[in-house]
Amino acid sequence: MPTIDGISDMVIRTTMTHAIQEVMRTMLNQSADFHSEIDARKPGDTASETAGSQVVGTVGFIGDIDGLIYLYLDTEFAEEAAAHLLGLTDEELEQVGDEAINDAIGELTNMTVGTFKNQLCDRGYHCKLTIPSILRGSNFSIEPTSSVTRRTYHFEVGRHRIITDLLMKIDR
């Protein structure tokens, strides 16, 4: 069975970048640019990147490798993305409420994590997706247990940003 040691930092970064770019281009007709890697060992760095009201989608993957990806979108971007996906005006989106936005961001996260993990599957790391879930809030941080490897990236999408936070188990 392949181990996570076989996946370099560069592979993780390019795989994640491809996933984000593919989903943004196909579903939102927007280009996404890699901006920077955030040092997750410094909680302050992550917190400053995700300050303000956030909609966070989460989808896991389990199999030869286990992991979880959080997708952070500021609320304004989440609303714009949901309106685009659902073909709704701002007023119509307001009527359908947060549930529709949550579902749309959950699906965007599902697609992103799917594209990420499908590339790993094709490298021999077989795994399956889990069902999406959503977190909402401001100024919160996610702290993993010590037995995970973590990579956090900042992407620019138009005037918005997306933060991807990847956590993978390292000891199996």
Partner 1 sequence: MRYKILTVDDSKTVRIIVKKAFRTFDCDIIEASNGVEGLAGAAKERPDVILLDVTMPVMDGVEMLTKLKADPALRSIPVIMLTAEGGRDSVIKIARIGVRDYIVKPFREEVLVDKVGRVIDLKPLSENPLKAKSILDSATILVVEDKPAIVQQIQDGLKHTPWKIHGVATINESVDFCTRNQPDVVLVSLSLPDDAAFTLFGLICTNVRTKYTPVFGLVVKTEIQAQQQAQQIGFTSIVTKPLDIPDLEAKISKAMNLDTSQRYFTTDQDVFVLKMPEIASQSSVNEMLTYLKPKMAEAVDAGICKVILDLHELKRLDVIAIKALLQALQLCRELGLQHVLVGNPQIASESQGFEDTKSWTFANSLEEAKASLARTSPSFSAQPAAAGA
Residue 43 to residue 172: CA distance in whole angstroms: 26
Whole-number Å distance between alpha carbons of 100 and 75: 13
Tell which positions 93-112 bind partner 1, by CB under 8 A. 100, 103-104, 106-107, 110-111
Rule CB under 8 A: which of 35-94 touch partner 1? 82, 85-87
Residue whose CB is less far from partner 1, 128 or 172: 128
Would you say 120 and 127 are in contact if contact means Cβ atoms under 8 Å apart? yes
Smallest gap from Cβ 100 to partner 1, in A, equals 7
Angle at the Cα of 149 from the Cα atoms of 146 and 150, rounded to 5 degrees: 105
Pick the stretch among 43-51, 117-125, 133-141, 149-157 that binds partner 1 (CB under 8 A): 117-125
CA proximity to 72, closest of 41, 35, 97: 35
Per the CB < 8 A criterion, the answer to whether 116 and 16 are in contact is: yes
User: Pick from 56, 83, 113, 157: which binds partner 1 (CB under 8 A)?
Assistant: 113
| Closest CB 99 distance from partner 1, rounded Å | 8
Residues forming contacts to partner 1 in the complex (CB under 8 A) are: 22-23, 26-27, 82, 85-87, 100, 103-104, 106-107, 110-111, 113-115, 117-118, 121-122, 126-132
